[in-house]
Chain A
């Protein structure tokens, strides 16, 4: 029997609720609470630093909500198990059930928490033997919820900042980094274009080229010059699109 304690990060914006939950988990043999975060950004920083086995996250949180936090963890590639807590969100609940995810409801019942921890423990223990294929139910779930992701955490060495996706005009590849362009400034973000394109809402963000993603709402003009297509954006920027990228963009604009 493996006597190792599994490590948990708790993300909950309400003080009492967070403390009570932490006490409950800490009192369960085999579990150890390593960080208590009061919002999504706090929780992301803790997860990056501690790489916990489990994150228990409230859906509705300041700065970065539970879903956005989960999307960030998946983009980074952390294998942390995630359990969501929600008070009453009919949309999220039905989606949870469809995706067969573990979730907890408020008010929290002791038995529900214990059952949930038992299931997560079983998954964590079997994980040593079976390699993760990286396409668990959570990833499938996040794919279906891409439209509700409204913020992105920009990770540059030693820093973590939140950029509202509504401000992003375009994203351009810069070596191993992605450059997020907003009206005010640009942000260097450590993530590949493929990974970014996979987690942004395809209705709002369209890859027009191997190295370029544009926000559909920022496109002002599309110019064709023979096989070359130029996309003009609202900040005056002009980007080149591949023929297939241009088609994708036009479809998204028409939709």
Chain B
């Protein structure tokens, strides 16, 4: 419930409060037996009290809503509600009985019974009803707050689960690549191409060190990302031979901050969903630049006609990561350009050495 968070809404809330107060006042006067000088009837008094209870209920909600999150009511909400529902009736009850005594003493002529009856009509009944109204409202309000909080907690949990799933998914893609590479190395050994096998093992070692190194870091330097990607590309070039070529044109400072495995994900996507999927050759062009205080990375490759989906899970995953990291100031746009090219363009704020986002 966040409908009293902006100044305009607070103003609207205050206006509503005063409109209700005035209406209640008018109705109260109109319903009062003293207004037309008639005798007090249960009917009339109770209607008036119901109206006032309603008014106090509304006032309770508005007060709590305005206080909420401003003066520490958030954490002490329960305490405040309990206190209100105990203190208000107690104080009002004490005042009422005090009133009884005062009236009895000052109207010495009246009997005890008459005195109690007189107040019973007015102060006692009304105060009790008001107190009950406030207490009930406070209880309902408390329950509502807790329910929405639970819902928000559940929402947060769902979000965290989704993030875990994404991480798992990334792990799975990596392991697919890992097993394929191990198989290629075994094949190289079987074909007695020892030097190639040793090179490939060294590259794989670099990649694994990189993955361990990156851990939970949300950003790495461009030079880190670039050397990680080079090891990855070297292994893919080994697997696909002449069919895969890659050109990297980078004009980006070595210390620029980038999300880890961003370039690798883009290239992996081009390899998996590009023209290699049609059994053809694939030339991937990568451009990285620093423009208008943003980093822009563009990956182009010949589009695949057979591979059904245009973007893979990798790109979706990447978009999510960028959104978490940079909010709306990052973009990831991918799609076919013309008939034969596929282009993925990623843009996010440039941060130099030392600056980083949590």
Residues of A within 8 A of B (CB): 13-17, 19-21, 23-24, 38-39, 41-42, 62-63, 87-90, 105-108, 150-151, 162, 164, 166
Contacts and interface: CB of A to CB of B under 8 A. Distances in A.
A194 B229 CA distance: 49
B191 interface: yes
B277 interface: yes
A116 to B, nearest CB: 15
Nearest to A89: B176
B179 A87 contact: yes
A14 B184 contact: yes
A23 B190 contact: yes
Given A23-B190, A150-B308, A151-B306, A16 B175 contact: no
Contact of B191 (A23, A105, A150): A23
Contact of B185 (A24, A107, A151): A107
Contacts of B185: 107
Question: Interface on chain B toward A: helix, strand, loop, or mixed SS?
Answer: helix
Contact of A62 (B187, B190, B277): B277
A82 B354 CA distance: 56
B180 A63 contact: no
Given A14-B240, A87-B179, A20 B308 contact: no
Interface residues of B, number: 26
A20 B186 CA distance: 8
A88 B175 contact: yes
In the A-B complex, list the 8 residue pairs whose CB atoms are closest, starting with the nearest: A20-B187, A106-B183, A87-B179, A16-B187, A62-B279, A20-B190, A107-B182, A107-B183
A194 B175 CA distance: 40
B191 A106 contact: no
B75 to A, nearest CB: 44
Contacts of A107: 179, 182-183, 185-186
A87 B180 contact: yes
A162 B183 contact: no
A14 B240 CA distance: 6
B176 A17 contact: no
A106 B185 CA distance: 11
Contacts of A89: 176
27 contacts: A14-B183, A14-B187, A14-B239, A14-B240, A15-B241, A16-B184, A16-B191, A16-B239, A20-B186, A20-B190, A21-B187, A24-B190, A62-B276, A62-B279, A63-B277, A63-B278, A87-B177, A87-B179, A87-B183, A88-B172, A88-B176, A88-B179, A90-B172, A107-B179, A107-B186, A164-B306, A164-B308
